[in-house]
Amino acid sequence: MNNEVLSFRGGKYTSLIPFLLMVAGLLGCSAMGLAAMEAFWVVACVCIMLGMVLASDSAKYFDAIIHGAASPLYITPIFCWIFAGMFAGILKASGLGNGLVWMGLTFNIGKGFFAGITFLVAAIYSTSNGSGSSAIVTIGALLYPAGVALGVNPLVMAGAIVSGGAFGDNLAPVSDSTIVAAATMGVDIPGVVKTRLPYTLVAGGISFCLITALGFILDSGVSISAEQYALITGQADPKGLIMLVPAILVIVLAFRGINLILCMSMGGVLAVIMGIPSGLLTWSAIIHVTDSGIGGALIEGISGFIGLIVFIILSAAVIQPMISSGAVGSLLGKIKRFIKTPRQAEVTNWFVIALSAFGLCNNVTSQIVAGPIMKGIAEEYHISLYRAANFSDSVQAMFGYTMPWGGQSILMCATAAAAAATYSWCPSITNPLAMIPFTVHAFVIALVFLFSAVTGVGRKLDEKAEDAVGYVKKNMEENVEETLAETTAETIIETIA
């Protein structure tokens, strides 16, 4: 595609109408309880058709959306999601979740610590496979009723589980939100994870302490027999813990800068090598052929990302035309007039992603919407794009994991309801609003980055800016040395004379 500006009827700002309509449509779907990828597809398609009508040249409009969808910004996460899905599917089928549940039940030393341990177990599981939703369902199915039976308040247990899911979703290199955060800022995933780790660990430590304290303070008011509790513990199996080895391998390799697809491929192969002989996996569980087609963990893992892949392609088709028209650049110029310092730039980016996440409550969608603005501001003030990516992924969790129109809180309510159906004494959670104050980590990680933005802790210039500063500094030093040398020579001559 050439660099010719894409024109619209009524001027360049007309190109914003399809994008704003998409945001409004996504908000409407969420408000009506239709926060599903299929609904998002329809909204995006309608907006693409509207954009084609508004464009002065429909052929150039089509070229623009194809150019946008084919860019590395969108193709990179698609490939990563496919391999992340296969790896996560293998870990799920291997019984890693049951192993972590056994660990949580075994190391319980009081109801308060059980709440804290539940957070850690959910965090480990979600970091292993990159899915906060999977942690909520898998870990919540057993540890939620177990915690309530031990005396922990149901809302504290639910908050601990959802918080653990938010932790791993934020940190894991195989997480969809981590992948899209890196892609929207145009940086590599290992670098994003490395630079985010100190903030995530600090937030995780604070969250563990707060959740443990809440576990001691608030009671469940439930009492069950030893036989009833045995029904829960009977499903835990320590054998599944060995599958942490492939998960750790992927994380370590990613930290060492190895390509993420290669990391996940090696982790998946190791998981199969360990899982088959140990009996945790069977070939039929990994992949099998039935009368209706092909199934198994690999297929299910990839299928789980199909909806997301379709949506990101459609999103590119909505976003690219307003970039090609020059509207985004012009808006950024207007916003930048009110920003004078890097601190103001980072605080602005914090609120940009927070606003997007509050409205959309989807970890990927909110980052796609806020990404162009955040990247433009970061580049203008030479803020590291790795840092901008970390702001994007971390702050979105504050609302994506807490608001009732987001999927995570509803999912936890459904998990609690399933536990209540299995164990008659276990209470269900019918109001997702009640969980908001207890989803501690989602707020803590966002506030850690707000503190970092205000104080400047961890802020650094990007490499180009650092090179520019170094060049200026070097020239200044050389000029000073040259001036001193000239001054000294003149002084010597005058003295001799």
Mark whether 359 and 478 lie in a shared domain.
no
Tokens in use for 318?
A: 């909505």
What's the pTM? Answer: 0.77
Mark whether 444 and 475 lie in a shared domain.
no
State the pLDDT at residue 405: 61
Mark whether 378 and 294 lie in a shared domain.
yes
How many other CB atoms are found less than 10 A from the CB of residue 167? Answer: 31
Closest to 176 (Cα-Cα) out of 267, 71, 307: 307
Mark whether 380 and 471 lie in a shared domain.
no
Q: 309 to each of 182, 245, 316, 343, 379, how far by Cα in Å? A: 16, 29, 11, 35, 27
Mark whether 364 and 483 lie in a shared domain.
no
Closest to 114 (Cα-Cα) out of 154, 157, 159: 157
Domains contained in the chain, number: 2
What is the Cα–Cα distance from 401 to 398, expressed in whole angstroms? 6
State the pLDDT at residue 3: 53
- Kindly state whether residue 176 falls inside one of the protein's structural domains: yes
Spell out the residues 6+ positions from residue 117 whose beta carbon is closer than 8 angstroms to its own: 103, 104, 107, 108
What is the Cα–Cα distance from 28 to 360, expressed in whole angstroms? 9
- Kindly state whether residue 270 falls inside one of the protein's structural domains: yes
Reduced DSSP (H G I as helix, E B as strand, rest coil) percent helix, strand, coil of the chain, to 5: 80, 0, 20
What is the Cα–Cα distance from 475 to 489, expressed in whole angstroms? 21
Q: Which residue range is the domain that position 472 belongs to?
A: 465-497
- In the DSSP assignment, the letter for residue 187 is -
Tokens in use for 235?
A: 């499903």
Mark whether 120 and 178 lie in a shared domain.
yes
Q: 456 to each of 87, 168, 336, 459, how far by Cα in Å? A: 37, 25, 19, 5
Mark whether 131 and 261 lie in a shared domain.
yes
DSSP 60-71: HHHHHHHHHHTS
* Long-range pairs of 492-495 with CB within 8 A, sequence gap ≥ 24: none
What is the Cα–Cα distance from 378 to 346, expressed in whole angstroms? 8
Tokens in use for 449?
A: 């980055």
Buried b (16+ CB within 10 A) or exposed e, 190-218: bbbbbbbeebbeebbebbbebbbebbbeb
The dihedral of CA 333, 338, 343, 346: what is its sign? negative
Spell out the residues 6+ positions from residue 410 whose beta carbon is closer than 8 angstroms to its own: 404, 432
- Kindly state whether residue 7 falls inside one of the protein's structural domains: no
- Kindly state whether residue 266 falls inside one of the protein's structural domains: yes
- Kindly state whether residue 232 falls inside one of the protein's structural domains: yes
Mark whether 396 and 497 lie in a shared domain.
no
Tokens in use for 258?
A: 């190895």
Buried b (16+ CB within 10 A) or exposed e, 44-65: beebbeebbebbeeeebbebbb
What is the Cα–Cα distance from 494 to 490, expressed in whole angstroms? 6
Closest to 21 (Cα-Cα) out of 310, 321, 309, 307: 321
State the pLDDT at residue 328: 73
State the pLDDT at residue 229: 77
State the pLDDT at residue 235: 73
- Give the chain's radius of gyration (CA, Å): 26
Mark whether 417 and 470 lie in a shared domain.
no
Q: Which amino acid is at 212?
A: T
State the pLDDT at residue 395: 94
Phi first, then psi, for residue 218 (nearest 5°) are: -105, 135
The count of C-alpha atoms lying within 13 angstroms of the C-alpha of 79, restricted to the half-sphere facing its C-beta, is 15
Mark whether 415 and 392 lie in a shared domain.
yes
How many other CB atoms are found less than 10 A from the CB of residue 247? Answer: 24
- Kindly state whether residue 179 falls inside one of the protein's structural domains: yes
Closest to 395 (Cα-Cα) out of 450, 338, 474: 450
- Kindly state whether residue 6 falls inside one of the protein's structural domains: no
State the pLDDT at residue 465: 44
Mark whether 473 and 346 lie in a shared domain.
no
Mark whether 340 and 390 lie in a shared domain.
yes
- Residue count of the chain: 497
The count of C-alpha atoms lying within 13 angstroms of the C-alpha of 486, restricted to the half-sphere facing its C-beta, is 6
Buried b (16+ CB within 10 A) or exposed e, 253-277: bbeeeeebeebbebbbebbbebbee
- Kindly state whether residue 36 falls inside one of the protein's structural domains: no
Mean pLDDT by 10 residues, the chain (497 residues): 74 88 80 74 91 90 86 77 86 86 77 90 90 86 88 94 94 89 90 93 97 92 78 81 90 82 90 92 89 85 83 83 81 80 94 84 79 89 94 91 76 87 86 89 96 92 51 45 48 43
Tokens in use for 363?
A: 């970890």
